[in-house]
Amino acid sequence: MNKNRKEFEISSPSRLHLGFYGFDDNYGYKYGSMGLAINAYKTTLCIKKSKSFCSNIPKKFTTPVLKYLKKNKLSTNFEINLLAKPPSHIGLGSGSQLSLCMGKSIFAYLDIDASINDIANIFDRGERSGTGISLFSKGGFVVDACKKFNELPMAMFNSKFPSKWKIILINDNSLKGASGKKEVKFFNQNIKLSKQYKSELSHIVLRGILPSVIYKDFDNFSKNISEFQKITSLFYKDKQKGVFLSQDISEIMKYIRNYDNLGMGQSSWGPMSYIFVESSLHAKELISIIQNKFNVYNNLTFKITSPWNSGYKISYK
């Protein structure tokens, strides 16, 4: 980094967690997930010179990296502030993006050569899914290679996502998804589901979703992502009634299911949900139809977004 330009901003995309295609370790590896970087709800930090450490970021995020710097006798004479972030615990991976943005900006500021995986390890990210780490680096669409014991999940497939396709984001502002101890407890239990369903998820990813992204085949992508989400929701049947945490969002999705070939699902624990459409015009038309039909759902918000096909961005002052 140019030492004369010691003030800069870093931004990263939010991510949609499109689901796990595995949970158990029957084949030697555990979990395995898909994700997509989106050009909405960005995380943005700024860092600049200061006589001593100063920040508006919560201590649970600053403490791990400050401990690392102190242990390695590195300077903490900088000010780092959060300018924008997604809401927490709604399915956008806000914790991972904030941690990675902070670590990357600090190491860049100090001219320390550290990989994204080095930073992820400092913050204990990537415990189950590697999508947030990969999407921070490269953006686009990613399928991780499952979790190997004591190692971060590596990307198995990473590709640009068709930029003409749009994503309608629907959030229920009255709800929050599972996180922390509740999430850990869920993944530590024996998740009961038939072997047929567990195998079907891998088949859908390998023979349906991946080819459709490569060939930019919207119809098959939508059909397969919806089927994948339908099966994935069975894992969470004790935590939510169907595919969606929000009953209001569920009613909307039931209504539009046969309206057109749409790819729909919920990101992580929700309530953030998504609808893949083939164009901006289609997205606007669909939102208009939904809002006219469900105008009493005042707790819902709608946003049209695009794929983010690059990783984090640094801009110098």
Per-residue pLDDT tens digits for 153-178: 999 999 999 999 999 999 999 999 87
Q: What is the pTM of this model?
A: 0.94
Residues 81 and 33 in one domain: yes
Angle at CA of residue 205, ends 264 and 134, nearest 5° = 85
**Dist CA 1 CA 12 (whole Å):** 19
Residue-wise pLDDT tens digits, 17-58: 999 998 888 899 999 999 999 999 999 999 999 999 999 999
Peptide bond into 271 cis (omega under 30): yes
Residues 126 and 259 in one domain: no
Residue 1 has pLDDT above 50, yes or no: no
Residues 80 and 194 in one domain: no
Residue-wise pLDDT tens digits, 224-235: 999 999 999 888
CA-closest candidate to residue 166, choices 16, 300, 289 = 16
CA-closest candidate to residue 159, choices 118, 213, 122, 211 = 213
Residues 198 and 246 in one domain: yes
Residue 186 has pLDDT above 80, yes or no: no
* Percent of the chain scoring above 70 in pLDDT: 95
Domain that holds residue 270: 166-305
Task: Determine the length of the chain.
Answer: 317
Under 8 Å between Cβ of 121 and 140: no
Q: Is residue 2 part of a domain?
A: no
Residues 51 and 192 in one domain: no
Amino acid identity of 73?
A: K
Q: Is residue 275 part of a domain?
A: yes
Residue-wise pLDDT tens digits, 70-84: 999 999 999 999 999
Residues 175 and 260 in one domain: yes
Residues 155 and 220 in one domain: no
**Dist CA 157 CA 305 (whole Å):** 22
Mean pLDDT score, 204-216:
98
Number of domains in the chain: 2
DSSP assignment of 211-277 equals HHHHTT-HHHHHHHHHHHHHHHGGGGTTTSSSS-S-HHHHHHHHHHTTTS--EEEE-TTSS-EEEEE
